[in-house]
Structure formats: structure tokens, C-alpha cells
Structure 1
Amino acid sequence: MLNIAICDDDDLIAHQIESVLHNISDEENVKIDTDVFYSGNNLVREISSGKKFDLIYMDIQMENGDGITAAKNIRKKDEDVMIIFISSYDRYVMELFRLDVFSFIRKPIDRDSFAQIFLEANQRICSRNHFFSFKYKSQEYKVLSKEILYFESKARQINIHVRDGNKYVFNGKLSEVEKGLSSGKVTFLRIHQSYLVNYLLIKSRSKSNVTLINGEVLPISEDRQKEFSKEYSRLLRGDIYV
């Protein structure tokens, strides 16, 4: 899921951006969560309090904290968040380069170009390295989420099976792992009481099992077959390009 902030002191523009984003996310099967801010100062305060965003749409000219100043302060707190500036003027372009801004959108907003920039931003965000972290015997570990084949629940422990053949273990419940991963950038699907599988590393599937890219076959429990098939098909439609 992408956490997106929209910052514009014109509430009509702010809600137009929010509406367009949700329309595009529905069409492209991209999960998003949006928060709207009407001043740069409010957004900076929210980020300073610990709130994390993946993407920010920021108006440059605002009365209570202009976008340029807000972006400079945000960069002090978060070097990774992607920023897209929105403005009726392009005289700020050189300043945007210094702030490592992903893109610039001119007002009035053109939906097609807006959608293209959003999808490019989403692809860039999803290509970044995201980690699953856990503790075991007083040690902290992290594993690249995209490299995890599946999680296996066994005897009150969770086994992490990784693409390179390594296996990690920690104490926990699979339901808690599933909940924690639900807002992540890599999609994991529950196929069984004991298995949570990385959708991206499924090579093929049948009604009763999935085959992973390493050739390993895992069962789909009967009570999860319908829901798994529905979610898998939805995700697959978003990944097919003709």
C-alpha cells in the first residue's frame, strides 16, 4: 500500500487530486491511503511526529508554509519520500532539482499525464528495497521482502523460506505476520493455515496448490481456495500487459 500525502491550500484542488488518485488506483489495482493537508506547516509537523509517507503531492505556493520551504524541512526528516510538486508556474523548476523532486505537474491538472507520473512513481517506490524485520534470541534480523518465498507456521514458530535457499526462524503467529505485511509493498497471500506466500514468486497455480519459482509446491487449503483464487486473479489482471 502507498501512503500518500496531498498538500494544497485550495480544498477543491486537494480533493480533485485525491479523487483522481483513487480512481487511478482502482483502475490499476494499486492500494493507496491518502491524507490531505492544507498547509506545508501542518504536513511538516505530521512528518516530524513520526508519520511516514511514500509519496507527497505538494503545491508550491501556499499561505501557511510554502511548498519549497516545507520540502526542505521534510528532507531533513525523510530523505526517501518521493515528492511531486504541483503549480501553475514553472519558474521554480531549478529549485526543485536541488530538492530531489521526482516530478512537476502543472495546473490545471491533465488526468492522463497525472496518471502516467503516478504510475512511474509507484513503480519506482515498489522497486526500492523493502525489508521484513524480526527478532530471535535477542538478535535483530532483516530480510528483503521481495526475496521471501513464503512464511511457514510450525510448532509456534515462523520459518522464513528465502529465494536463495536460506531459512530463518522466529517465534510468532502467522496471523500477526500477515497483518503486518498487509500494508507493505510486496503482496503476500494466505493459502493455508500454515503458509503465507509471496505473490510475485508464484510460478503457477491450480485449484489445490501453488508452484513457486524454485519448483516447490505448496497446498491451498479447501477453505481458502475461493478467496485465494479471487485475490490472485485480481492481482494478475493488474500485471498483464497486452
Structure 2
Amino acid sequence: MLNIALCDDTKLELSVVENYALQYPYTKVEIDTFGNGPKLLQYLSNNNIEYNIYLLDIEMPDMDGISLAKKIREFDKKAAIIFITSYSEYMQDVFKVQTFDYLMKPVDKETFFEVLLRADLYLHSTHSYFEFNYERNKYILNADEIMYFEKSGRTAHIYTETKAFKCNQTIAQILKQLDSMTFAQIHASYIVNLKYIAGMKCENVVLKKYMNNELMDTYQELPISRKYKKDFKTKIMNYVRKRF
């Protein structure tokens, strides 16, 4: 499913693009519409909601789309931002805010579907999710935000930057859901996200620690066993190459 925020001060354009989005044939879409940037930002501030895609008109009187995108990027680095504009002269500026793409007005439905499909594929290829049940509740976490898993008896503890969760999956079941290029098993009881690796210290892997999205001066150490050390070193080297 795609959660989309559409912001355009022109009611006709708002209606047309909203209808196109609801006709998107490849996956279910939920879309919220906003007549200006401040209303969108206020809604985000008041509600605990995340959008996968932002469709932003550039020419708006209260706050132009590029300024709005800069505000969004202050708290959301992952969503796909797609601009809608009548003027190609803005194109030089839109890519300064990690823009996914842009659409020219009047928006053509088939072109819109093509851009939305590419955004859909991009989001699902770069942001995988980890699903689990615990005490009759179902949870879905963004795998990118999981620091590590710790297995203790029948329970697996899942640690993110801000919270801890529990599930009853085995190590094998957990690994089956994860991207093998991003996560590595380092011990019979531990799986780590390579994104958070700071280095190695003796027989331990050193993890970065964050608080409120800020890197802390302290680090966390987890044991690495000889059995997994070679594979871990290979994975971390490949991960660094892939990123840089």
C-alpha cells in the first residue's frame, strides 16, 4: 500500500491528481489532500502518520513547493517527493531537496502511473519491512531502523534507535525476512544491521548509538563468534562499497 500526501492550491488539479492516484492499478493507495503547505505541515505535526510519497505543487502562494519539501526533509529523509509544475524553469531547483521526479501540468494519467510505479518500486527495494506477532498483536517495522536482534531463549528482542520489541521467531525465521546484504548474523544470539556498525574491538562488534536522530558519543558492543567473523567482514566490506 502507498500512503500519499497531495498538496496543490488549485482545486481542479487537486481533484484530477487525486482521482488518478485512486485509479493506480498496481497497489492500493490511500491519499490525503491539502490546499496549501502550512496545512500539510500542521497535519503532520498533529498526527502520527508517515507518507511514502509527497506530490507537491511548486507554485503555491502561502508556501511554494520547494520550501515545503525542505521542511519535509527536516524530519523525513526517505519519502519520495514528486513535484507538479507548469514551468520547466523550476527544474534546476527541485533536485536540491532529494527529489524523486517531477510532472508537468496538465498531468497525463499514463505518465503519472509510470512515475508512481517507479516510486513504488524504489520504495519497496530500498525500504524493506520486518513483520512479527507478539501477544496477539501484529507489528510492522521499517527494517532500516532496526539496530540488532538478540535471541534469548524462545524470545527474540528487537532493538531500534528508540524502542525495543519482542517476538517469538527463531533466528532462521528472522533472517529469512531480512536483506542479507544489510543484515549479518554475528553470533548464535545476535543479528546486526550493518548500517549501525562503527567497527570491531577484540571479539566484539561496535555499534553506533543514536538519541533523537543524533549520534551519541557512547557505543554498544556485541559479541562476535569465530564462526561468523569471516562472513561478517566480507559483508561489511561489500556494504561499504555499495554505499560509497
Gap change, CA 1:65 and 1:135, over 3 Å in 2: farther
Gap change, CA 1:21 and 1:123, over 3 Å in 2: same
The equivalent of 2:88 in structure 1 is: 90
The equivalent of 2:58 in structure 1 is: 60
The equivalent of 1:2 in structure 2 is: 2
Highest relative contact order (Cα 8 Å, sep 6+), 1 or 2?
1
Give the C-alpha shift of residue 131 in structure 1.
3.6
Between 1:72-81 and 1:133-142, the stretch displaced more is 133-142
| TM-score, normalization by structure 1 | 0.56
Q: Which runs of 5+ in 1 are unaligned?
A: 144-156, 169-242
Residues 156 and 168 in structure 2, CA contact (< 8 A), matched pair in contact too: no
Secondary structure class of the residue paired with 1:97: helix
Identity across the alignment (%): 30
1:120 has 2:97 as partner: no
Give the C-alpha shift of residue 48 in structure 1.
3.4
Residues 131 and 142 in structure 1, CA contact (< 8 A), matched pair in contact too: no
Give the count of matched residue pairs. 152
Q: Which runs of 5+ in 2 are unaligned?
A: 131-140, 142-148, 161-166, 178-184, 190-244
Counterpart pick for 1:36 among 14, 33, 36: 33
1:46 has 2:20 as partner: no
Query: What is the correspondence of 1:142-181 to structure 2 with a 5 Å cutoff?
Result: 158-159=168-169, 161-164=173-176
Gap change, CA 1:52 and 1:120, over 3 Å in 2: same
Residues 89 and 106 in structure 1, CA contact (< 8 A), matched pair in contact too: yes
Q: Which has the higher strand share?
A: 2
Counterpart pick for 2:158 among 128, 136, 141: 141
Residues 47 and 77 in structure 1, CA contact (< 8 A), matched pair in contact too: no
Instruction: Tell me the distance in 1 between the aligned counterparts of 2:61 and 2:14.
Output: 15
Show CA shifts across 1:144-193 (max 9, x none): xxxxxxxxxxxxx733514559899xxxxxxxxxxxxxxxxxxxxxxxxx
Gap change, CA 1:140 and 1:103, over 3 Å in 2: same
CA RMSD after TM alignment: 2.9
Instruction: Tell me the distance in 1 between the aligned counterparts of 2:168 and 2:109.
Output: 45
Instruction: Tell me the distance in 1 between the aligned counterparts of 2:15 and 2:73.
Output: 25
Gap change, CA 1:162 and 1:84, over 3 Å in 2: same
